[in-house]
Structure 1
Amino acid sequence: MSSALASLTSVVVGAKAKHTATVIFLHGLGDSGHGWSFLAEELSTQIPHIKWILPNAPARPITLNAGYAMPGWFDLTGLDKSSLNDEDQKGMLASVSSVNQIIRQEVESGIPANRIIIGGFSQGGVMSLLTGLTSEYKFAGVIACSCWLAMADKMKSMGSDANRKTPILMCHGDADQVVQFQFGEESADRLKSYGYDVEFKKYRGMAHSANPAEVQDIASFIKTRLP
């Protein structure tokens, strides 16, 4: 793992009441933690005991972006089926290690893993699934928005026993022109076939973004898993 990945910076939105649980939410390609701080701010009044950690991906050359560097959790060659199957597994696993550092710090600071939810959007959603399903920490839940399951063929054997029964919320807009809706739906079906507890939410007319209905579904999931 390169030193650039060893320690991530994060946007942190503190709990508005006594801090008893944490959500770690990972942004998509080319974005930053600030890009999803709206979610933390919007939900902090509904769930004031939650601290939000929004890590910033390091800049890296992205093949899809003609090799120019931009914030990313792993390299992408394209967004069609064959490109997504041509995976930067080394980059993915390095990022998993970096996210696990944040999780470890949170646990060491006194928040047990079963009071932590890991979530993300697009590339960040890919990372939330990978991190959540392979971690030895037992999480309260996993949220994966507008994304797909990476290393899908390996996940049956890679998945840790700790999170075999951990609830997973997957959300996807049916008008997504970036990560096709069917990729998200197929990923949810694959995880269900492996025995995972997956709820898949479809949002009519939603593009590669979030909408109020999705935000409320995320809020409900967090409230249920982290009362």
Structure 2
Amino acid sequence: MKKSILLTKPIAVFVATFGITVVFILLSPPNRSSPKPDSMARSFILWLHGLGDSGPANEPIKTLFTSPEFKRTTWSFPSAPFNPVTCNNGPTMTSWFDIYEIPVTADSPKDENGILKAVQNVHAMIDKELAAGTNPSNIFVCGFSQGGALTLASVLLYPRTLGGGAIFSGWVPFNYSIIEHITPEAKKTPIFWSHGIADRTVLFEAGQAGPPFLEKLGISCEFKAYPGLAHSINNEELHHLESWIKTRLRSSS
């Protein structure tokens, strides 16, 4: 019984810390950048939440992106299906795939079958946006924690080059056996990775193992470490994400 209590505690961290993030976003001052001509093409940002969270709870994130470049951006905040989760003694909760242990380390066991099934659903969302006329270079997949791990898998296994993938407090959710499924086009998708050094839910070592993994595949990755940051997202990270995406958006021309 005691073990069950210890295992459920990290799950609360996933949700509670993100609630704090949303409050910070709502209190942050608006960006007063100057207007830009209506030359920006349609863009799409897909945000994947963490374990036990929901898509709607993360929607305040988009209020931070006030630059004119995002006037034609469509946001999507899907919710994961309800699944049993091993690391929390198996109760059903929103989860993209199974997690076997918390804290997550660089060597934690991986639910590769589950991640591949979740990737198919993400790819269907991307395909739908492409069918709506969005340039793949203007499609960005972002995610926190479990959603960050799914983000990495989704952009690496998508057969085309996307605008980018942004991982916050995530980890590599598969082994090197996945390499043969990564196309040359997918390797051109830029990756941004952000992780708090004080993270005790997904250990910093798990995030730090990401860039070397990607480098062996010939994939570029910008990695930023945040001293003192636990398992959450702060405004500095999201402001950096806004700038990172903004510099990669393509105009309608």
Normalising by structure 2, report the TM-score. 0.78
- In structure 2, distance between residues paired with 1:26 and 1:33: 7
Q: Please give the secondary structure, in 2, of the residue aligned with 1:164.
A: helix
Determine which of 163, 166, 170 is the counterpart of 1:143: 166
- In structure 2, distance between residues paired with 1:72 and 1:103: 20
RMSD: 1.9
What residue is the counterpart of 2:119 in the other structure? 96
Runs of 4 or more off by more than 4 Å in structure 1? Answer: 80-84
Are residues 1:168 and 2:191 paired?
Answer: yes
Deviations 1:95-152 (A, max 9, x none): 1111111111111111122210111111101111101001113201110110111113
| Contact 1:76–1:83, Cα closer than 8 Å, also in 2 | no
| Contact 1:19–1:51, Cα closer than 8 Å, also in 2 | no
Q: State, as a whole percentage, how many aligned pairs show the same letter.
A: 33
What residue is the counterpart of 2:56 in the other structure? 34
- Aligned-pair CA distance for 1:49: 2.2
| Contact 1:44–1:50, Cα closer than 8 Å, also in 2 | no
**What does residue range 123-202 of structure 1 map to in structure 2 within 5 Å?**
123-202=146-225
- Aligned-pair CA distance for 1:44: 4.1
Counting matched residue pairs gives 211
- Deviating more after overlay: 154-163 vs 185-194: 154-163
| Contact 1:26–1:121, Cα closer than 8 Å, also in 2 | yes
| Contact 2:64–2:239, Cα closer than 8 Å, also in 1 | no
Q: Which has the larger radius of gyration?
A: 2
- In structure 1, distance between residues paired with 2:99 and 2:87: 6
- Aligned-pair CA distance for 1:65: 1.6
Are residues 1:25 and 2:29 paired?
Answer: no
Structure with larger RCO (C-alpha < 8 A, sep 6+):
2
- In structure 2, distance between residues paired with 1:82 and 1:144: 16
Residue identity opposite 1:218 in structure 2: L
What residue is the counterpart of 2:226 in the other structure? 203
| Contact 2:86–2:100, Cα closer than 8 Å, also in 1 | yes
- Aligned-pair CA distance for 1:156: 2.7
- In structure 2, distance between residues paired with 1:57 and 1:26: 8
Structure 1 unaligned residues grouped into runs of 5+: 1-16
User: Which structure has greater strand proportion?
Assistant: 1
Residue identity opposite 1:93 in structure 2: L
- Aligned-pair CA distance for 1:85: 3.6
Q: Please give the secondary structure, in 2, of the residue aligned with 1:77.
A: coil
- Aligned-pair CA distance for 1:93: 0.8
Residue identity opposite 2:189 in structure 1: T
Determine which of 119, 134, 138 is the counterpart of 1:111: 134
| Contact 2:106–2:209, Cα closer than 8 Å, also in 1 | no
Normalising by structure 1, report the TM-score. 0.87
| Contact 1:170–1:200, Cα closer than 8 Å, also in 2 | yes
**What does residue range 76-95 of structure 1 map to in structure 2 within 5 Å?**
76-80=99-103, 85-95=108-118
- In structure 1, distance between residues paired with 2:104 and 2:44: 34
Residue identity opposite 2:114 in structure 1: G
Deviations 1:162-184 (A, max 9, x none): 12122100000111110001110
- In structure 2, distance between residues paired with 1:132 and 1:27: 16
| Contact 1:177–1:207, Cα closer than 8 Å, also in 2 | yes
Structure 2 unaligned residues grouped into runs of 5+: 1-37
Residue identity opposite 2:196 in structure 1: G
Residue identity opposite 1:196 in structure 2: I
Q: Please give the secondary structure, in 2, of the residue aligned with 1:161.
A: coil
Deviations 1:39-93 (A, max 9, x none): 1122145522211111110000111121100000001110356796422211111
